Amino acid sequence: MTDLEDLVRATLAERAHDVDRVQLNAVAVRPARTRRWVAVGSVAAAAAAIVAAVVLIAPWAGPPFRSADLIGAEPPPPTQQVSFHGITLTVPASWGVGRFGCFGSGAPGDGNTVTIIPTNLPNCPTHPSTPGPITTSAPVTRTSVTLQALTSSDGPGTATTVAGHPARWVDTYGPEGTPPLLQLPDVGVQMSISAPAGGTATVLAGLSYTPLDARGCDAQLPASSPDVDDTVLAAAVSGAVCEYDVSGPDGTFLLGSRTLTAAEITALQRAVTGSRAAPSGVDGTVLYRATTADGRSTEVRFDANSAPADLPRAYP
């Protein structure tokens, strides 16, 4: 028996109890988990998903459940989340998602698509060409969603509320079949949804607003960062990069984020301690957050066009 074996055994025995504490919270939020995709318009599928969720929570959350409750329940398909400006869209994992970078990117998926188009892409010599809305008058069989930075909120519109935010439907006056734009002015987003009957409601049902994304990035660029804490940076074991729109008309919104690898944290440490390329408090729109094992964090910002090339970016 080695020290390392003993350590592994003790660690596993200790950490197994983590889930005892976490589980209660997880159960509490379980019905709202976004991984569960319930199709609006399909009462049977929705009922099956609800039964699956409720019944499988029951063993830990309430009275014992009966096995007969599970009859007919099928696990819902996996989902994916697409975030932009704090708006998170939950759609089936089979959908193609395109995040337009300098030259465009995306996966074809199953024919249903979500496309994200920022106002002004960082490090791009020219603005890329972007797809227009679907304008065919033929019956729509696939869902196409475009999330775009808000260009203008002038003109008439029909007020509504989406994900707790004021919104408005705006007629685009395009050819027959052109879907109206859904604008959310306070988060700088407009959406175009082309979908079969009932599909628009399904898309909207999977829409939420999260002021902090999964990596702790604010939906809007924080005003400034405190001084870089060199001690914290040197001891960092994890981190993330949050990248914001360079020149949004109504604010500087989150374009995307990603987790830093160990090598990327080392590169960040080297970039800061080596060249001091990112003085504290700079008005950069690429924000790197480095965190130590005991939860202390420090932030480093770079300008989008002058960030060191060996540091990762959150947006293609």
User: Contact residues for other proteins (CB under 8 A)?
Assistant: 1-5, 7-20, 22-23, 25-27, 30, 33, 35, 52, 56, 59-60, 64-67, 70-71, 73, 75, 78, 80-83, 88, 93, 97, 213-216, 237-240, 259-260, 291-295
Instruction: Pick between residue 237 and residue 305 the one whose CB is nearest to other proteins.
Output: 237
Instruction: Pick between residue 187 and residue 217 the one whose CB is nearest to other proteins.
Output: 217
Instruction: Pick between residue 73 and residue 282 the one whose CB is nearest to other proteins.
Output: 73
- Asked whether 42 and 197 are in contact (CB, 8 A), the reply is no
- Asked whether 235 and 206 are in contact (CB, 8 A), the reply is no
| Nearest distance from C-beta of residue 307 to other proteins, angstroms | 21
Of how many residues is the chain composed?
316
Instruction: Pick between residue 44 and residue 293 the one whose CB is nearest to other proteins.
Output: 293
| Nearest distance from C-beta of residue 233 to other proteins, angstroms | 15
| Nearest distance from C-beta of residue 166 to other proteins, angstroms | 25
| Nearest distance from C-beta of residue 16 to other proteins, angstroms | 4
| Nearest distance from C-beta of residue 215 to other proteins, angstroms | 6
- Give strand ranges (E) for the chain: 79-84, 87-92, 96-99, 113-117, 144-149, 158-162, 165-170, 181-184, 189-194, 207-209, 236-244, 254-259, 286-292, 297-302
Which of 5, 33, 145, 45 is CA-nearest to residue 89? Answer: 145
Instruction: Pick between residue 180 and residue 209 the one whose CB is nearest to other proteins.
Output: 209
- Asked whether 35 and 49 are in contact (CB, 8 A), the reply is no
Rounded distance, CA 265 to CA 259, Å? 10
| Nearest distance from C-beta of residue 315 to other proteins, angstroms | 13
* Encoded amino acid at 91, one letter: V
Instruction: Pick between residue 19 and residue 151 the one whose CB is nearest to other proteins.
Output: 19
Rounded distance, CA 56 to CA 50, Å? 10
- Asked whether 316 and 105 are in contact (CB, 8 A), the reply is yes
| Nearest distance from C-beta of residue 232 to other proteins, angstroms | 12
Which of 40, 82, 151, 123 is CA-nearest to residue 307? Answer: 123
Instruction: Pick between residue 71 and residue 159 the one whose CB is nearest to other proteins.
Output: 71
- Asked whether 264 and 224 are in contact (CB, 8 A), the reply is no
